[in-house]
Structure 1
Protein backbone atom coordinates (compact mmCIF):
# COMPACT_ATOMS: atom_id res chain seq x y z
CA UNK A 1 0.00 0.00 0.00
CA UNK A 2 1.43 3.35 -1.02
CA UNK A 3 1.31 6.64 0.88
CA UNK A 4 -1.28 7.84 -1.62
CA UNK A 5 -3.48 4.82 -0.82
CA UNK A 6 -3.15 5.52 2.90
CA UNK A 7 -4.17 9.13 2.31
CA UNK A 8 -7.43 7.86 0.88
CA UNK A 9 -8.38 5.85 3.98
CA UNK A 10 -10.67 7.31 6.60
CA UNK A 11 -11.13 6.01 10.15
CA UNK A 12 -12.58 2.50 10.35
CA UNK A 13 -15.37 1.78 12.85
CA UNK A 14 -17.55 -1.19 13.67
CA UNK A 15 -21.00 -1.65 15.14
CA UNK A 16 -22.71 -4.70 16.61
CA UNK A 17 -26.46 -4.20 16.52
CA UNK A 18 -28.52 -6.71 18.51
CA UNK A 19 -32.12 -7.51 17.57
CA UNK A 20 -34.67 -8.90 20.02
CA UNK A 21 -35.93 -12.43 19.31
CA UNK A 22 -39.48 -11.24 18.61
CA UNK A 23 -38.33 -8.42 16.25
CA UNK A 24 -35.77 -9.71 13.76
CA UNK A 25 -34.17 -7.22 11.36
CA UNK A 26 -36.60 -6.17 8.67
CA UNK A 27 -34.12 -4.35 6.43
CA UNK A 28 -35.64 -0.91 7.03
CA UNK A 29 -32.24 0.59 7.91
CA UNK A 30 -30.48 -0.70 4.78
CA UNK A 31 -31.78 2.04 2.44
CA UNK A 32 -30.45 4.63 4.92
CA UNK A 33 -27.06 2.90 4.96
CA UNK A 34 -27.09 2.73 1.16
CA UNK A 35 -27.76 6.50 1.07
CA UNK A 36 -24.69 7.13 3.26
CA UNK A 37 -22.62 5.01 0.87
CA UNK A 38 -23.97 6.73 -2.24
CA UNK A 39 -23.22 10.16 -0.76
CA UNK A 40 -19.62 9.12 -0.01
CA UNK A 41 -20.00 9.48 3.74
CA UNK A 42 -19.17 5.86 4.56
CA UNK A 43 -17.92 2.78 2.74
CA UNK A 44 -19.23 -0.58 3.94
CA UNK A 45 -16.27 -2.92 4.33
CA UNK A 46 -18.01 -5.87 5.96
CA UNK A 47 -21.58 -6.69 6.91
CA UNK A 48 -22.38 -9.98 8.59
CA UNK A 49 -25.37 -11.34 10.44
CA UNK A 50 -25.11 -13.83 13.30
CA UNK A 51 -27.51 -15.60 15.64
CA UNK A 52 -26.78 -16.76 19.16
CA UNK A 53 -28.85 -19.82 19.99
CA UNK A 54 -30.26 -20.42 23.47
CA UNK A 55 -27.46 -22.92 24.12
CA UNK A 56 -24.91 -20.14 23.44
CA UNK A 57 -23.70 -21.43 20.08
CA UNK A 58 -23.16 -18.85 17.36
CA UNK A 59 -24.06 -19.25 13.71
CA UNK A 60 -23.77 -17.02 10.69
CA UNK A 61 -26.78 -15.97 8.66
CA UNK A 62 -26.50 -15.15 4.96
CA UNK A 63 -28.00 -11.75 4.18
CA UNK A 64 -30.12 -13.35 1.45
CA UNK A 65 -31.71 -15.56 4.13
CA UNK A 66 -32.69 -12.68 6.41
CA UNK A 67 -36.20 -12.43 4.98
CA UNK A 68 -36.26 -8.65 4.74
CA UNK A 69 -39.62 -7.08 4.00
CA UNK A 70 -40.38 -5.21 0.78
CA UNK A 71 -38.17 -4.52 -2.22
CA UNK A 72 -34.74 -4.13 -0.64
CA UNK A 73 -31.71 -4.37 -2.93
CA UNK A 74 -29.11 -6.24 -0.87
CA UNK A 75 -26.50 -6.46 -3.65
CA UNK A 76 -24.20 -3.79 -2.16
CA UNK A 77 -24.35 -5.42 1.25
CA UNK A 78 -24.10 -9.02 0.06
CA UNK A 79 -20.87 -8.13 -1.71
CA UNK A 80 -19.35 -6.35 1.32
CA UNK A 81 -16.52 -8.55 2.48
CA UNK A 82 -13.11 -6.96 2.91
CA UNK A 83 -11.77 -9.78 5.04
CA UNK A 84 -11.28 -7.50 8.04
CA UNK A 85 -14.11 -9.27 9.88
CA UNK A 86 -12.97 -12.78 10.78
CA UNK A 87 -14.26 -15.66 12.90
CA UNK A 88 -12.60 -14.30 16.04
CA UNK A 89 -14.43 -10.99 15.52
CA UNK A 90 -17.72 -12.82 15.03
CA UNK A 91 -17.13 -14.78 18.23
CA UNK A 92 -16.33 -11.60 20.13
CA UNK A 93 -19.50 -9.96 18.82
CA UNK A 94 -21.45 -13.10 19.73
CA UNK A 95 -20.19 -12.89 23.31
CA UNK A 96 -21.98 -9.55 23.62
CA UNK A 97 -25.30 -11.03 22.49
CA UNK A 98 -28.04 -12.42 24.67
CA UNK A 99 -29.01 -16.02 23.86
CA UNK A 100 -31.81 -16.30 21.31
CA UNK A 101 -30.94 -13.02 19.61
CA UNK A 102 -29.46 -12.09 16.27
CA UNK A 103 -27.13 -9.25 15.34
CA UNK A 104 -25.69 -7.34 12.45
CA UNK A 105 -21.95 -6.69 12.50
CA UNK A 106 -21.00 -3.70 10.38
CA UNK A 107 -17.43 -2.62 9.63
CA UNK A 108 -17.29 0.69 7.78
CA UNK A 109 -14.86 3.39 6.72
CA UNK A 110 -15.68 7.01 7.48
CA UNK A 111 -14.76 8.21 4.00
CA UNK A 112 -15.82 11.77 4.82
CA UNK A 113 -12.87 11.98 7.23
CA UNK A 114 -10.13 10.71 4.87
CA UNK A 115 -8.89 14.16 3.71
CA UNK A 116 -8.99 15.50 7.28
CA UNK A 117 -7.10 12.47 8.62
CA UNK A 118 -4.53 12.71 5.80
CA UNK A 119 -3.86 16.38 6.55
CA UNK A 120 -3.27 15.53 10.21
CA UNK A 121 -0.95 12.60 9.34
CA UNK A 122 1.07 14.81 6.97
CA UNK A 123 1.55 17.23 9.86
CA UNK A 124 2.88 14.41 12.05
CA UNK A 125 -0.25 14.12 14.18
CA UNK A 126 -1.59 10.76 15.26
CA UNK A 127 -4.80 9.66 16.88
CA UNK A 128 -4.14 8.63 20.46
CA UNK A 129 -7.68 8.11 21.72
CA UNK A 130 -11.17 7.77 20.30
CA UNK A 131 -14.55 7.00 21.74
CA UNK A 132 -18.25 7.36 21.39
CA UNK A 133 -20.74 8.82 23.83
CA UNK A 134 -23.94 6.73 24.01
CA UNK A 135 -27.06 8.68 23.07
CA UNK A 136 -28.71 7.72 26.37
CA UNK A 137 -25.83 9.37 28.27
CA UNK A 138 -26.36 12.60 26.32
CA UNK A 139 -30.11 12.50 27.00
CA UNK A 140 -29.50 11.87 30.71
CA UNK A 141 -27.07 14.81 30.86
CA UNK A 142 -29.53 17.11 29.08
CA UNK A 143 -32.31 16.02 31.44
CA UNK A 144 -30.06 16.77 34.44
CA UNK A 145 -29.20 20.23 33.08
CA UNK A 146 -32.88 20.94 32.48
CA UNK A 147 -33.78 19.80 36.01
CA UNK A 148 -31.10 22.07 37.52
CA UNK A 149 -32.34 25.10 35.60
CA UNK A 150 -36.00 24.56 36.57
Structure 2
Protein backbone atom coordinates (compact mmCIF):
# COMPACT_ATOMS: atom_id res chain seq x y z
CA UNK A 1 0.00 0.00 0.00
CA UNK A 2 1.19 3.51 -0.78
CA UNK A 3 1.27 6.46 1.61
CA UNK A 4 -2.18 7.75 2.57
CA UNK A 5 -2.87 11.47 2.80
CA UNK A 6 -5.87 13.67 3.42
CA UNK A 7 -7.01 17.08 2.28
CA UNK A 8 -9.68 19.40 3.62
CA UNK A 9 -10.58 21.89 0.90
CA UNK A 10 -12.77 24.80 1.97
CA UNK A 11 -15.28 26.45 -0.35
CA UNK A 12 -15.93 29.85 1.30
CA UNK A 13 -19.54 30.91 1.01
CA UNK A 14 -20.37 27.45 -0.40
CA UNK A 15 -19.01 28.42 -3.84
CA UNK A 16 -18.18 25.13 -5.56
CA UNK A 17 -17.52 25.50 -9.27
CA UNK A 18 -16.71 21.87 -9.98
CA UNK A 19 -13.59 22.88 -11.91
CA UNK A 20 -11.34 20.59 -9.85
CA UNK A 21 -13.53 17.49 -10.17
CA UNK A 22 -12.34 16.41 -13.66
CA UNK A 23 -8.75 16.75 -12.48
CA UNK A 24 -9.47 14.54 -9.47
CA UNK A 25 -11.08 11.94 -11.74
CA UNK A 26 -8.06 12.14 -14.06
CA UNK A 27 -5.65 11.48 -11.17
CA UNK A 28 -7.65 8.37 -10.32
CA UNK A 29 -7.97 7.24 -13.95
CA UNK A 30 -4.21 7.54 -14.46
CA UNK A 31 -3.52 5.46 -11.34
CA UNK A 32 -1.73 8.26 -9.50
CA UNK A 33 -4.10 8.18 -6.51
CA UNK A 34 -6.93 6.04 -5.21
CA UNK A 35 -9.77 7.73 -3.35
CA UNK A 36 -10.39 5.95 -0.05
CA UNK A 37 -12.91 8.40 1.42
CA UNK A 38 -14.64 11.45 0.01
CA UNK A 39 -17.11 13.48 2.04
CA UNK A 40 -18.53 16.96 1.63
CA UNK A 41 -19.52 18.93 4.70
CA UNK A 42 -21.29 22.20 5.39
CA UNK A 43 -20.76 24.47 8.39
CA UNK A 44 -23.80 26.59 9.24
CA UNK A 45 -23.71 30.07 10.75
CA UNK A 46 -24.31 28.54 14.20
CA UNK A 47 -21.27 26.26 13.77
CA UNK A 48 -23.25 23.05 13.18
CA UNK A 49 -21.50 20.72 10.74
CA UNK A 50 -23.51 18.42 8.46
CA UNK A 51 -22.51 15.93 5.78
CA UNK A 52 -23.69 16.71 2.24
CA UNK A 53 -24.61 14.13 -0.38
CA UNK A 54 -22.51 13.89 -3.52
CA UNK A 55 -24.53 16.02 -5.93
CA UNK A 56 -24.56 18.37 -8.86
CA UNK A 57 -22.13 20.93 -7.46
CA UNK A 58 -21.67 22.97 -10.61
CA UNK A 59 -25.36 23.14 -11.57
CA UNK A 60 -25.07 21.43 -14.96
CA UNK A 61 -27.65 18.73 -14.15
CA UNK A 62 -25.14 15.87 -13.84
CA UNK A 63 -23.77 14.21 -10.73
CA UNK A 64 -20.22 15.51 -10.73
CA UNK A 65 -18.72 12.89 -8.46
CA UNK A 66 -20.97 9.89 -9.06
CA UNK A 67 -17.81 7.91 -9.76
CA UNK A 68 -16.88 8.38 -6.08
CA UNK A 69 -20.36 7.79 -4.66
CA UNK A 70 -19.96 5.34 -1.80
CA UNK A 71 -16.18 5.77 -1.51
CA UNK A 72 -15.74 4.90 2.14
CA UNK A 73 -12.85 2.97 3.64
CA UNK A 74 -13.89 3.50 7.24
CA UNK A 75 -10.85 5.70 7.91
CA UNK A 76 -12.97 8.85 8.10
CA UNK A 77 -15.24 8.91 11.15
CA UNK A 78 -17.53 11.39 12.90
CA UNK A 79 -14.65 12.82 14.95
CA UNK A 80 -12.67 13.49 11.77
CA UNK A 81 -15.67 15.21 10.20
CA UNK A 82 -16.11 17.36 13.30
CA UNK A 83 -12.39 18.23 13.24
CA UNK A 84 -12.60 19.18 9.55
CA UNK A 85 -15.63 21.32 10.37
CA UNK A 86 -13.57 23.06 13.02
CA UNK A 87 -11.05 24.38 10.50
CA UNK A 88 -13.51 25.90 8.04
CA UNK A 89 -15.43 29.15 8.36
CA UNK A 90 -19.15 29.37 9.11
CA UNK A 91 -21.41 29.44 6.06
CA UNK A 92 -18.85 27.45 4.07
CA UNK A 93 -18.54 23.94 2.72
CA UNK A 94 -15.55 21.65 2.39
CA UNK A 95 -14.48 18.50 0.67
CA UNK A 96 -12.62 15.98 2.80
CA UNK A 97 -10.68 13.43 0.80
CA UNK A 98 -8.48 10.59 1.99
CA UNK A 99 -6.38 9.14 -0.78
CA UNK A 100 -3.65 6.59 -1.35
CA UNK A 101 -0.61 7.70 -3.35
CA UNK A 102 -0.49 4.84 -5.85
CA UNK A 103 2.50 6.35 -7.64
CA UNK A 104 4.64 5.44 -4.62
CA UNK A 105 3.70 1.74 -4.42
CA UNK A 106 6.35 0.41 -6.87
CA UNK A 107 9.01 2.69 -5.38
CA UNK A 108 8.28 1.61 -1.80
CA UNK A 109 8.14 -2.04 -2.88
CA UNK A 110 11.55 -1.80 -4.51
CA UNK A 111 13.02 -0.16 -1.43
CA UNK A 112 11.55 -2.81 0.88
CA UNK A 113 12.81 -5.64 -1.31
CA UNK A 114 16.25 -4.05 -0.92
CA UNK A 115 15.92 -4.05 2.87
CA UNK A 116 14.99 -0.40 3.35
CA UNK A 117 12.17 0.82 5.56
CA UNK A 118 10.24 4.07 5.42
CA UNK A 119 10.78 5.60 8.84
CA UNK A 120 9.25 9.06 8.40
CA UNK A 121 7.24 11.11 5.98
CA UNK A 122 5.61 14.49 6.09
CA UNK A 123 4.36 17.42 4.16
CA UNK A 124 5.80 20.90 3.84
CA UNK A 125 2.96 23.45 3.97
CA UNK A 126 2.77 25.43 0.72
CA UNK A 127 3.07 28.75 2.60
CA UNK A 128 6.40 27.56 4.07
CA UNK A 129 7.61 26.47 0.64
CA UNK A 130 6.71 29.82 -0.93
CA UNK A 131 8.42 31.70 1.92
CA UNK A 132 11.59 29.61 1.52
CA UNK A 133 11.65 30.14 -2.26
CA UNK A 134 11.11 33.89 -1.84
CA UNK A 135 13.93 34.05 0.72
CA UNK A 136 16.22 32.18 -1.70
CA UNK A 137 15.31 34.54 -4.55
CA UNK A 138 15.89 37.57 -2.31
CA UNK A 139 19.34 36.30 -1.29
TM-score (norm 2): 0.87
- Say if 2:58 is the partner of 1:68: yes
**In terms of mean alpha carbon deviation, does 118-127 or 99-108 score higher?**
118-127
Matched residue, 1:43: 34
Q: Is the 2:57–2:64 contact (alpha carbons within 8 Å) kept by the matching residues of 1?
A: no
Cα deviation, 1:17-49, whole Å, max 9, x if unaligned, reads 11111x521211010011111111011111100
- Say if 2:2 is the partner of 1:10: yes
What is the alpha-carbon distance in structure 2 between the residues aligned to residue 120 and residue 95 of structure 1? 38
- CA RMSD for the aligned pairs? 1.9
Cα distance, 1:72 vs structure 2:
5.9
Cα deviation, 1:109-148, whole Å, max 9, x if unaligned, reads 1111111122233344333322111222222222222222
List gaps (5 residues or longer) in structure 1. Answer: 1-8
Matched residue, 1:120: 111
Query: Which has the greater radius of gyration?
Result: 1
**In terms of mean alpha carbon deviation, does 86-95 or 104-113 score higher?**
86-95
List gaps (5 residues or longer) in structure 2. Answer: none
What is the alpha-carbon distance in structure 1 between the residues aligned to residue 35 and residue 17 of structure 2? 19
Instruction: Figure out how many residues of one structure are paired with residues of the other and give that number.
Output: 138
